[in-house]
Amino acid sequence: MTKMNARMMRTKMALEVAAELYTQRMSAMGNVATISIQPSSREEQFPGMLMGINGDLMGGMKAPIEVGEGRVDVAFINPSAIVTMAYRGKGFYKEKLPLRALASFPSWDKMAFAVAKELKLKSLFEIGERKIPLRISTRPSGIYNTTYYTVAEILSFYGLSFAKIKSWGGSVQETPRPTSPERLAGIKTGKINAVFDEGLHNWLDDALDHGFEILPIEPRIVKQLSALGYQASVIPPAKFRQLKADVNTIDFSGWPLITHRGLSSDLAYAICQAIDLRQNVIPVDDEGPLDMKKLCRGTEAAPLDIPLHPGAKKYYEEKGYL
């Protein structure tokens, strides 16, 4: 280990204490972290690093812009499709952003449009044709939430919007999490008759058990979404006991850890090395333990459609992961 001066010791101590404190108290402390390591103005000027995680800014559609423009150096984005969109300069992003991947962590997920069977719907197109006043549960608006953006974008391809549905007498319940109590209660009581969301393992089985079904996204709509950066996918019966067949949708998987192309190769290399050295204590949203080979290759649970940073690529190749 590098010989530490007093300031290095205090920084290391603080990070170790913060990691253990959060491990013990995460339910009481929330889920937003901003970590900044910077020298004082009178010290030798070491290169700093700012990592942003979650929150309205770093947990939503604007996070890739913060990274691409260099205001933040490293960030997690969910899902991978949003990173692809930002890299290509499509949809929400008006120009291509110089993003690079450090890793893509697994988190299997899909987008689902679930509605009560009693509505007798076969397609999202019928909602507009019949002007159905749906009682929808979805995610929060006004904070550039990636899920809300995706749902609203899909609805627009069907000529729909939340505003239109409200104008027909419908309602929109906005919940901060897929597992919000008001949603789960609404599914059981019938207060809501549609759920447009991802995070499927948290609510879809309950919905299917209480008389909901999933509407497919038509192939021509999937094609339009693919042009933005989303991937065509299916919700499989192997994952959800009530399903009898695959349902066409788009993928919502992956937690890519991204940076900008200006990050030094030494630092990118060191970040990947740190993941490797700490892999036994890093939690993953997956059925198995963290797999370094999968982090740098792209999988169904962790798509990777932007280039690796050269420093990250060097680390993975040296270790035989790539």
Q: In the chain, where are the structural domains located?
A: 31-107+253-318, 112-216
Give 133's pLDDT tier (boundaries 50, 70, 90).
very high
What is the rounded CA–CA span in Å between residue 228 and residue 92?
A: 9
Q: What is the pLDDT of residue 90?
A: 98
Tokens of 151: 């749902």
Peptide bond into 106 cis (omega under 30): no
Torsion (CA) 68, 74, 78, 81 in degrees, nearest 10: 40
Segment 226-242 shows an average pLDDT of 97
Q: What is the pLDDT of residue 79?
A: 97
**Residues 6+ away with beta carbon under 8 Å from 221:** 154, 157, 158
What is the rounded CA–CA span in Å between residue 19 and residue 254?
A: 23
Q: Which CATH superfamily is domain 31-107+253-318 in?
A: Periplasmic binding protein-like II (3.40.190.10)
Phi, psi (degrees; rounded to nearest 5) at 271? -65, -45
**Residues 6+ away with beta carbon under 8 Å from 276:** 292, 315, 319
Segment 274-284 shows an average pLDDT of 94
User: pLDDT, tens digit, for every residue of 172-207?
Assistant: 999 999 999 999 999 999 999 999 999 999 999 999
Evaluate whether 130 touches 44 at the Cβ level (below 8 Å): no
Residues in the chain: 322
The fraction of the chain above a pLDDT of 90, given in percent, is 81
The two domains 31-107+253-318 and 112-216 share their CATH topology (first three levels equal): yes
Tokens of 150: 């995706």
DSSP state of 108: -
**Could you tell me the pTM of the whole model?**
0.92
Give 1's pLDDT tier (boundaries 50, 70, 90).
low
Tally Cβ neighbours within 10 Å of residue 168: 13
What is the rounded CA–CA span in Å between residue 239 and residue 201?
A: 9
Evaluate whether 115 touches 213 at the Cβ level (below 8 Å): yes
The fraction of the chain above a pLDDT of 70, given in percent, is 98
What value does the mean pLDDT of the chain take?
Answer: 94
Report the topology of domain 112-216. Answer: D-Maltodextrin-Binding Protein; domain 2 (3.40.190)
